[in-house]
């Protein structure tokens, strides 16, 4: 790999992919392409592209080893991605039973509506992520996500289904009660799924000052680092951590053996689902 291509990949990979994702989102919102199957195609292709780049530009070459977790992580990803792309349809069905007035500001532009959806979902995720590191039972559910002793793209969707509900449930409930358009919610979750692949990717990419806005791998790796789990809770945006004092960044490489949890969690999918309920 030439030095020019490597530097270009380091600094352009994330912004170009996310700009493309935004373009697809706007095509879906404007009705030019359908949400199904565009959402799942975009998410899957993005994941596969990131997986490919991990082998050409790894942050930690030792994280390319499977650690006997690949098949389990695939099952986690299939189940949780199905939940993500199904949320829009679920909220659409729930709206049929609406019993309170719709308060959503649908008179403003679609752009600002998406921004409102993004901020509500992201703050809700940030807060519940913080709570998941604070309270024992929530942590046991969330610990599945921290189980891996490596960081790579599939870590993005490695979570206990109950943890997924705990994390996203409050903000999605608020949006549903306000009557937010289900398509906008689905489109933001589609954008977020691609971003989370990048957030956990074993790719040595850089974003410069954007790391003080977006929760990219440069700052999120610290969250998985031993002793720093109570820092950098942001999902898409990192400025919540800056505002509430939980932001951490140092220009120092996270070592390959500095991530994961020290407690024993099984590698098998069903065993991981049962693990939080064991004493």
12-54 pLDDT, tens digit each: 999 999 999 999 999 999 999 999 999 999 999 999 999 999 9
Residue 203 and residue 217 in contact, taking contact as beta carbons nearer than 8 Å: yes
User: What does the pLDDT average to over 178-194?
Assistant: 96
- Phi-psi group of 34: left, alpha or beta (phi > 0 → left; psi -120 to 50 → alpha; rest → beta): beta
Two structure tokens written together for 245: 């004092």
Is 70 exceeded by the pLDDT of residue 134?
Answer: yes
Two structure tokens written together for 251: 């220009």
Residue 33 and residue 181 in contact, taking contact as beta carbons nearer than 8 Å: no
How many other CB atoms are there within 10 angstroms of residue 134's CB atom? 10
Identify the pLDDT of residue 68.
84
| Predicted TM-score (pTM) of this structure | 0.96
Identify the pLDDT of residue 98.
81
Residue 259's DSSP bridge partners are 225
78-124 pLDDT per residue, tens: 999 999 999 988 998 988 778 888 899 999 999 999 999 999 999 99
Identify the pLDDT of residue 164.
96
Closest CA to 235 of 259, 200, 204: 200
User: What does the pLDDT average to over 56-61?
Assistant: 96
Residue 201 and residue 50 in contact, taking contact as beta carbons nearer than 8 Å: yes
Which residue's entry shows tokens 């807060």? 127
Establish whether the linkage from the previous residue to 37 is cis, with ω within 30° of 0. yes
Two structure tokens written together for 120: 């509500």
Domain residues for 27? 3-277
Q: What is the mean pLDDT of the chain?
A: 95
pLDDT band at residue 5 using 50, 70 and 90 as cut-offs:
confident
Is 70 exceeded by the pLDDT of residue 1?
Answer: no
Query: Total structural domains in the chain?
Result: 1
Q: Which residues, 6+ apart, have CB-to-CB distance to 168 below 8 Å? A: 87, 121, 124, 125, 128
Closest CA to 122 of 241, 216, 245, 236: 236
User: What does the pLDDT average to over 256-261?
Assistant: 94
Identify the pLDDT of residue 67.
79
How many other CB atoms are there within 10 angstroms of residue 274's CB atom? 10
User: What does the pLDDT average to over 254-268?
Assistant: 93
Helix (H, G, I), strand (E, B) or coil at 185: helix
Which one has a higher pLDDT value, 66 or 209?
A: 209
Q: How many residues does the chain have?
A: 279
User: What does the pLDDT average to over 209-227?
Assistant: 96
pLDDT band at residue 75 using 50, 70 and 90 as cut-offs:
very high
User: What does the pLDDT average to over 209-216?
Assistant: 97
Identify the pLDDT of residue 76.
97
Identify the pLDDT of residue 100.
82
Closest CA to 176 of 123, 100, 234: 100
DSSP per-residue string spanning 192-206: HHHHHHHHH--B---
Which residue's entry shows tokens 């929530």? 138
In the chain, the largest separation of any two C-alpha atoms, in whole Å, equals 61
User: What does the pLDDT average to over 241-261?
Assistant: 95
Is 70 exceeded by the pLDDT of residue 190?
Answer: yes
* Residue 28 to residue 34: CA distance in whole angstroms: 6
Closest CA to 156 of 77, 43, 212: 77
How many other CB atoms are there within 10 angstroms of residue 263's CB atom? 10
Residue 228 and residue 218 in contact, taking contact as beta carbons nearer than 8 Å: no
| Proportion of the chain above pLDDT 70, given as a percent | 100
Identify the pLDDT of residue 143.
97
Q: Which residues, 6+ apart, have CB-to-CB distance to 79 below 8 Å? A: 161
């Amino acid at each position: 790999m030439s030095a020019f291509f490597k530097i270009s990949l380091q600094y352009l990979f994330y912004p170009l992919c996310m700009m493309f994702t935004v373009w697809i989102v706007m095509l879906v919102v404007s009705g030019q392409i359908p949400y199904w199957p565009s959402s799942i195609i975009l998410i899957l292709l993005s994941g596969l592209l990131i997986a490919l780049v991990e082998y050409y530009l790894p942050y930690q070459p030792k994280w390319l080893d499977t650690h006997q977790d690949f098949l389990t992580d695939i099952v986690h990803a299939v189940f949780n991605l199905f939940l993500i792309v199904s949320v829009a349809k679920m909220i659409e069905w729930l709206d049929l039973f609406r019993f309170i007035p719709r308060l959503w500001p649908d008179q403003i532009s679609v752009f600002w509506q998406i921004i409102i959806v993004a901020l509500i979902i992201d703050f809700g995720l940030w807060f519940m992520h913080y709570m998941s590191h604070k309270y024992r039972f929530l942590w046991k559910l969330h610990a599945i996500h921290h189980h891996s002793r490596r960081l790579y793209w599939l870590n993005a969707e490695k979570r206990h289904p109950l943890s997924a509900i705990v994390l996203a449930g409050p903000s999605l409930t608020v949006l549903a009660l306000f009557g937010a358009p289900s398509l906008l919610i689905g489109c933001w979750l589609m954008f977020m799924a691609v971003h989370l692949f990048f957030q956990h990717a074993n790719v040595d990419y850089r974003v410069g000052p954007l790391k003080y806005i977006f929760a990219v791998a440069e700052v999120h790796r610290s969250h998985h680092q031993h002793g720093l789990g109570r820092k950098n809770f942001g999902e898409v945006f990192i400025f919540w951590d800056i505002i509430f004092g939980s932001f951490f960044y140092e220009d120092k490489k996270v070592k390959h053996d500095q991530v994961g949890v020290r407690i024993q969690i099984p590698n098998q999918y069903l065993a991981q689902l049962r693990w939080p309920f064991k004493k």
